[in-house]
Structure 1
């Protein structure tokens, strides 16, 4: 609930974040600097934790054995003055990324499937503790310096000396490279580095050559492409004061960074990489047309000044902004939410990622007030979304072809305000959602066939009064829905499993006695 308020979620403007597992990266919102921070609708696609929240964590990432020939545990540690190795400075506290070889595992370590991230006005609890774990298995570190090694031996991979500390690190999808932000060379100047995970070479400054000046923040965010070849990042080397441009660079720094935007889109406030590693898609402020609307752009990775504006919400509504976006699994289309027809009336749109310019998008929803959550089918054919297309303020479940066409309402009539969360099964045949469909104010678990009108059916044992379901997740084989609810004992949240195909009752995965309950799963 605290996270919902932190990202500015409200009934009039619910915050949206969409994840499609193993398909690439969500956009990463870094906040809008200067006077733009006060804009009524800042983009909220994927919210990073605040610096103070990061500073409370230490991160750990496991490099899969199949990618490196051995299992390596990479983590962020703190080195205190007086407790340092012979090659380290003892001038004061520092932190470092450390990698340690793990004993062979009997079975592969697999990441659990993601549940629904529901951050709207009736936000369900996030499904994972507050670490920044990404679909590529990467983990953002809290302040630290970087280190790797064999059994019982710790080898620092961030290099020495370290003027400041590592703030964020991620491991490339192929497991070969650690990429990190640090003020390694100049205290307070955060730049981008990469180093082999096995410690076979010194780190390379891959943001080298950018003209940072006094007062510049430096590099503020990055993502690694799924093919592990490129890094896309934000930095304020040109305009300074946190006014970021977007760059790409080879992961090994073999050539200098390339600025992808021309400058008129500055500041860049959010970005992501398509699953095929070909495009960077980002939010930028359109200063060229005079609207200063937040719009969606795409750019070929590695191609200087290749940014093309995909959306045109500012042309239809001078106060409009894009507030959410995601890519289709096949990397062909971008889906975004914006209020391009009337202020604060948000709709879903779809546009080819390689469109030659604005005007090629299609409107997918017909909301009377706003849309909230959405999910793209694994075959890239369908968007399932929550919107008040029929009755203002009543949020219902719809599916619509990604390229445009007639939508299908999946739920029967809603008793209350409607749906608060939605997910598509990995096989694309089913939709699971949370809604007060049968009893106003009581959010329960439902499933529907993705293309069948009115097929939404309750899965949980009926609840009433103050009881509610709090979060849901679909199993990787698409056969079951796991959810958290206090359906047996009011006030005691427990974990239940039920077939996604209605007809069989739920199974309690464990029993708890009040006041104990499930915190997250």
Structure 2
């Protein structure tokens, strides 16, 4: 179980909100390891650090310790970036101590309370945080007098303190300049026996509100006074005999004071608001049941509009929560109906003032759960997941951006306390901690000020060994923050995050058991998100690319090489890199991406945080948008190349923004007599311009290998011939010059990617004859072998970020052996983590997000000799699971190559397969369910997709393996409406002229939406034209678009613009984008419209 050593058990009642969900785990990039250093100086025997503060500007750490003399507690400061601790107080003799201290809001001074001058006479001092002579703030006190407590105004100009400065044991209120000067008494005249009991400074630093029995002994009332002195004003109304003012708060806008008092009825505690400068108090609560009261834990929303209060207002001992406008009005019951014996025990208003989060045994007596409700009342939402018998939610926090709630609960195992997060607007509950050791628990926790990560204490790895961890608030892999812990030691619950979120300071007996010291963990930069997000499918061709870091970065460490963009059909681009804000870097691409092309982006490790720690390189990929396409291909009359093409790559090698072609042949088997060929594309017509050697070539890949902006070629050769790098030294007229690698194996396939995160493209090459599959690291265009990915006579390779950790991994297809999944550690060191049994001999591999969940799945194509159909395997947390979807005709296809692209422009990735038995187009319905849409009988080993003719869709270069030329297959736009997007098609409308002259029939088709169940059509003004219901499911749509939902709706000729509202069968956040038909020739995006009340439209 969790042990608590030298620390209080914390029960933090901050807030939360969510719809009931399922607990899931996620895969994220691991941040780099933190740097841990000791903060305090050497401790004398028996000495300990007892407390600390971080300055608001995050530049200093001030701590309280008996560092120099045992049992004499003094204060020290040290720069957060490291340095020698400085003692701040004057010399203390035995028996004297510093008892409290605070750092000024401006971070320039430390205010402390100590019996520095006279033993047991505690006075107030101010000292520069970087060291200097302390200044006494109060007038000198004599024996028996003391300063009791103090507060600092936000502007750092004055210190307000309470002391019996003038009369022994008469505690009054004073205001003193923070740097020293004459104190001013704030309260009115007090006689012996009367005291100021409590005070608060208004947020605008203009006034002090205090509670005192100033006018009547033991009759406590509320007063307001200017912060630098003046005449106090009584705020409360007349109080009945025996009545008092109790708790009070000042609104954030400094206009209102809200207080609780038995003002009208003795022992009948009610709630009032009053202007801070005085006025008529307003009773806020509703009528109170006999014997009922308003509770003392009321709160004011940060926008100063609402007061939330607990009360047994409706029935005695039934504690509920109510909201009321701060200026008065009807009170609103917020909580749901409470079970017998149930109560609301705690609540908090979210920082954005929109919701109230409360903790109650609302549904089950003594079963405490979390709920959320709008601040003005409305539907109550339970936030936590299902709880085991005997379990409860305990502490909870709301992120400062009001997006997340984090809570601790024994939700899954009774008495097994773990940590969970949930979106504040409702959603899936995510467990944050790692697997807990038997008997272990999560203890205290905090959300980082930037709302990105959670820091928590737990004996997660070893029972009774408390350590400190950091985890993304949305879930991921926890990172241990503390260093090595001495036997018997722990990190205790006393830890704090800097306001700039760059470091965590924690206390513990980490170095020596029972000697408590102070440590700082500097948090390196990690990646919060990328622009665009990784593995997206239809990114606009001129989109910005960029990266959002977890922390502010040092802007001087950013340069135009920080981000490198590699388009595998358009070439590389760098700079100018723009600093969008203190966490975000962006690059605007100078040349738009090619339709449907794969793009890879590297954010290098040159960026540092403000403490000099470098970011880990981060690499991600996405596909540019294909604007249109039917997925139906027709052959052109072009006859290209020689015979027996082994590989083809399409890309712009001459800088004219259209894809050219490089085709390679195996000349040892009678391939083209002229050698490997470069074809330039002019308006969809290809002409041969250069020969790239004549070898036993097996594969080719295009990429900018020397970062000069233009595409080069990597050619893999068989028959123990050296692989070749052909560098493109031309511009508008490409000139390729060859460099050979030192290794000579029998190559089969190649994939280019930035494996080591340095911004250039490396290569992964597979080989047969049990030769090692090789990772080649690119060093300025020179490739050096680094690591072998097995040596199993491999046939194919595909690369991508399989485990979503920001580096590129590899899938290797082997002959008569399982496919190997090799994960990259970010430095191009690969480990084999899974053998995927696909039935052996994966002749080709496609690695992409086929099911729309933004991780990479795998499509394996097999040769017919082993009688294996194609297989689709889904990604599950960085490993692959067989979907049991077998595609293809056993013993007939004999697959050789796969090319990926959004062939029909429906927002998901399809596959073009080249086999020795013909071409197959596999249409994806968006969930990884494929159906073959076209098969012909041309034998092929090579295919590549690109927009050959410039019309925005993906065409195919089809390499023939018989004694016939290669050809170009065009995506036939006559089979598709122009400029269509994902979701709903209206093909009849799209074939109409711009102005409809006759009544026009509408056909509705669903592709890639998850299904639709109703369509409603209006004119531009919203007038009803028709509607129909039914069901259309995905996966049954053919290329001719004949599946319909509405077959009898007609449009009048006078209207030329129609609004088509589409009601989805399932409203999911990933698939709920639908479109209007505007001007009858294009779609405009509209929102998903839920029809949860309709039987036709189940939610």
Q: TM-score, normalised by structure 2?
A: 0.35
Match of 1:294 among 243, 260, 269: 269
Counterpart in the other structure of 2:222 = 246
Per-residue deviation, 1:154:
3.4
Alpha-carbon distance, 1:95 to partner? 3.0
CA distance in 1, matches of 2:128, 2:204: 24
Determine whether 1:94 maps to 2:137. Answer: no
In structure 2, the residue matched to 1:213 is: 191
**Superposed displacement of residue 470, structure 1:** 1.3
Q: CA deviation at 1:310?
A: 1.3
Report the Cα distance in structure 2 between the residues aligned to 1:275 and 1:162, rounded to whole angstroms. 38
Measured after TM superposition, the shift of residue 160 of structure 1 is 4.2
2:14/2:396 contact within 8 Å kept: no
Given candidates 34, 55, 73, the residue that maps to 2:110 is 73
**Contact 1:471/1:484 (CA < 8 Å) preserved in 2?**
yes
> In 2, are the aligned partners of 1:16 and 1:324 still within 8 Å (CA)?
no
Aligned equivalent of 2:395? 421
Offset, 1:343: 3.3
Query: Deviations for 1:39-89, whole angstroms, at most 9, x for unmatched residues?
Result: xxxxxxxxxxxxxxxx986222222447xxxx22222232445xxxxxxxx
Local SS of the residue matching 2:165: coil
Tell me the SS of whatever aligns to 2:297: strand
Structure-2 residue corresponding to 1:367: 338
CA displacement 1:154-182 (0-9 Å, x = unmatched) = 33221246572211111111000111111
Measured after TM superposition, the shift of residue 16 of structure 1 is 7.9
Q: Would the aligned equivalents of 1:364 and 1:402 in 2 still touch at CA under 8 Å?
A: no
Q: What corresponds to 1:114 in structure 2?
A: none
Preserved contact between residue 349 and residue 365 of structure 1 (Cα < 8 Å): no
Work out the number of aligned pairs and report it.
403
The superposition leaves residues 319-357 of structure 1 with CA deviations (integer Å, 9 ceiling, x where unpaired) of: 44414111111011111222223333322211111115x
Structure 2 residue aligned with 1:60: 101
Q: Distance in 2 between matches of 1:393 and 1:274?
A: 34
Q: Is the CA contact 1:295–1:312 (under 8 Å) kept in the aligned structure 2?
A: no
CA distance in structure 2 between the aligned counterparts of 1:317 and 1:363, rounded to whole angstroms: 21
Q: Which residue is equivalent to 1:461? A: 434
User: Structure with the greater relative contact order (CA < 8 A, sep ≥ 6): 1 or 2?
Assistant: 1
Matched, 1:408 2:408: no
Q: 1:497 to 1:316 in 2, by over 3 A?
A: same
Q: For residue 233 of structure 1, what is the aligned residue in structure 2?
A: 210
Find out whether 1:273 has 2:257 as its counterpart: no
| Alpha-carbon distance, 1:264 to partner | 2.1
- 1:15 deviates by 8.7
Residue 328 of structure 2 is aligned with which of 341, 355, 362?
Answer: 355
Task: Measure how far apart 1:417 and its partner are.
Answer: 2.8
State the distance in 2 between where 1:76 and 1:271 align: 25
Is 2:546 the counterpart of 1:509? Answer: no
Q: Is the 8 A contact 2:224 2:276 kept in 1?
A: yes
The structural deviation recorded for 1:259 is: 1.0
Q: Contact (CA 8 Å) 2:391, 2:413: kept in 1 or not?
A: no
C-alpha distance 178-428 of structure 1, shift in aligned 2 (>3 A) = same
Would you say 1:177 and 2:151 are equivalent positions?
Answer: no
Q: Is residue 2:356 matched to residue 1:383?
A: yes
Q: Contact 1:385–1:422 (CA<8 Å) still a contact in 2?
A: no
Distance 1:152 1:377, change over 3 A: closer
Instruction: Indicate the residue corresponding to 1:127 in structure 2.
Output: none
Q: What is the deviation of 1:469?
A: 1.2
How much does 1:235 deviate? 0.5
Aligned counterparts of 1:348 and 1:456: Cα–Cα separation in 2: 25
- What is the distance in 2 between the residues matched to 1:99 and 1:158? 10
Superposed, which structure 2 residues align to 1:336-347 within 5 Å? 336-347=309-320
Distance 1:188 1:399, change over 3 A: same
Bigger drift between 243-252 and 292-301 goes to 292-301
**What is the aligned counterpart of 2:137 among 157, 171, 185?**
157
User: 2:239 pairs with 264, 268, 271, which one?
Assistant: 264
| Structure 2 gaps, min length 5 | 17-95, 496-1099
Work out whether 1:443 is the aligned partner of 2:407: no
Q: Shift of the alpha carbon at 1:262?
A: 1.7
Q: Residues 190, 226 of structure 1: CA spacing in aligned structure 2 closer, same or farther, 3 A cutoff?
A: same
Alignment partners' CA distance in 1, 2:12 and 2:290: 21
Measured at CA, do residues 17 and 297 of structure 1 come closer, stay the same or move farther in structure 2, by a change above 3 Å? farther
Q: Distance in 2 between matches of 1:278 and 1:476?
A: 27
| Kept after mapping to 2: 8 A contact 1:420/1:434 | yes
- Taking a change above 3 Å as real, the CA distance of residues 275 and 99 of structure 1, as seen in their structure-2 partners, is same
Q: CA deviation at 1:421?
A: 1.2
C-alpha spacing 1:155/1:452, structure 2 compared with 1 (3 Å): closer
The verdict on how the C-alpha distance between 1:169 and 1:332 changes in structure 2, with shifts beyond 3 A counting, is same
1-structure distance, mates of 2:154, 2:233: 22
- Paired residues of 2:247 and 2:296 also in contact (CA < 8 A): no
What is the alpha-carbon distance in structure 2 between the residues aligned to residue 340 and residue 350 of structure 1? 12
Structure 1, gaps ≥5 residues long: 21-54, 82-91, 104-150
Q: Is the 8 A contact 1:426 1:476 kept in 2?
A: yes
Report if the CA contact (8 A) 2:286-2:313 is conserved: yes
Structure 2 residue 229 is the aligned partner of structure 1 residue 202: no
Pair 154,329 (structure 1): closer, same or farther in 2 beyond 3 Å: same
Q: Distance in 2 between matches of 1:438 and 1:183?
A: 54
How many Å apart are 1:193 and its aligned residue?
0.9
Q: Which residue of 1 aligns with 2:169?
A: 188
Alignment of 1:10-89 (within 5 A): 58-65=99-106, 71-80=108-117
Q: Normalising by structure 1, what TM-score?
A: 0.71
Of 367-376 and 377-386, deviating more is 367-376
Q: Is the 8 A contact 2:405 2:423 kept in 1?
A: yes
Rg larger in structure? 2
Aligned match of 2:281 in 270, 291, 307? 307
Note if contact 1:296-1:311 (Cα within 8 Å) is conserved in structure 2: yes
Deviation digits for residues 255-304 of structure 1, max 9, x if unmatched?
21111112327312211211111111222124x246x2322222211205
Deviations 1:478-498 (A, max 9, x none): 111111111211122211111
Question: Matched residues in 1 for 2:393 and 2:105: separation?
Answer: 38
- Cα distance in 1 for partners of 2:315, 2:122 equals 49
- How far, CA to CA, are the matches of 2:415 and 2:132 in structure 1? 55
Q: Normalized per residue, which structure has more strand? A: 2
CA distance in 2, matches of 1:207, 1:491: 51
In the TM superposition, residue 312 of structure 1 has moved relative to its aligned partner by 3.7
Q: Deviations over 1:335-394 (max 9, x none)?
A: 1222223333322211111115xx434333433312233232222111122222222221
Distance 1:65 1:319 in 2: 44
Contact preservation (8 Å) 1:177, 1:195: yes
